[in-house]
Amino acid sequence: MPTFVYMTRCDGCGHCVDICPSDIMHINKTYRRAYNIEPNMCWECYSCVKACPQNAIDVRGYAEFAPLGHSVRVLREEAKGTISWRIEFRDGRVKNFVSPIRTTPWGSIPSPTELEAPSAEAMKSQELAHEPDALNIDKLPALTPDQLKLGVV
């Protein structure tokens, strides 16, 4: 379901261009607004739809297998920490869903540099950052193989 952009809503801000993982949202030089330059390389990931401050981007299911008349709209609200969906079927039935997207404030993840620097001893061990504490068990498991087996097991 490739994306398309409504002419009257897009202000050419370029958020969609910045975020598109497939690099297919570009600014049209004549109209100075965004559009999908390569619909057949669109994964319908909705990254651009979610990122658009003007709600100017929508999706029309791939012509190859999606009959017209449907809509799947989304509103992602970072401050509220939610994402809301509205699905409208071809025959007019509607379903709504809301899910949380994050439980902590955006930008709140500490950098590893804020943690105490690891010792030379720790560098030699098999433990990774935050271990063993973050494992919630006493220590990192390890194998002590007494023999190696070849063939089918």
**Contacts (CB under 8 A) with another protein, residues 45-84:** 45-47, 59, 61-72, 74, 76, 83
Q: Which stretch binds another protein (CB under 8 A): 4-12, 13-21, 27-35?
A: 13-21
Q: Given the complex with another protein, which of 8 and 148 has the nearer CB atom?
A: 148
Q: 112 — phi, psi (to 5°)?
A: -60, -25
Handedness of CA 77, 78, 81, 83 (dihedral sign): positive
Q: Which stretch binds another protein (CB under 8 A): 5-13, 27-35, 101-109?
A: 101-109
Active-site residue, selected from the candidate residues 6, 31, 43, 97: 43
Tokens describing residue 130: 């935050």
Residues 6 or more apart whose CB falls under 8 angstroms from that of 83 comprise 50, 74, 75, 76, 77, 98, 99, 100, 101
Q: Which stretch binds another protein (CB under 8 A): 5-13, 27-35, 138-146?
A: 138-146
Binding residue for another protein (CB under 8 A) from 9, 31, 32, 134? 134
DSSP state of 19: H
Tell me if residue 85 is catalytic. Answer: no
Q: Which residues pair with 57 in a beta bridge?
A: 5
Q: Given the complex with another protein, which of 7 and 135 has the nearer CB atom?
A: 135
What's the distance, CA 85 to chain centroid? 15
Closest contact distance (angstroms) between CB of 34 and another protein is 14
Residue type, 27: I
Binding residue for another protein (CB under 8 A) from 29, 30, 110, 121? 110
Which residues does the annotation mark as catalytic? 43
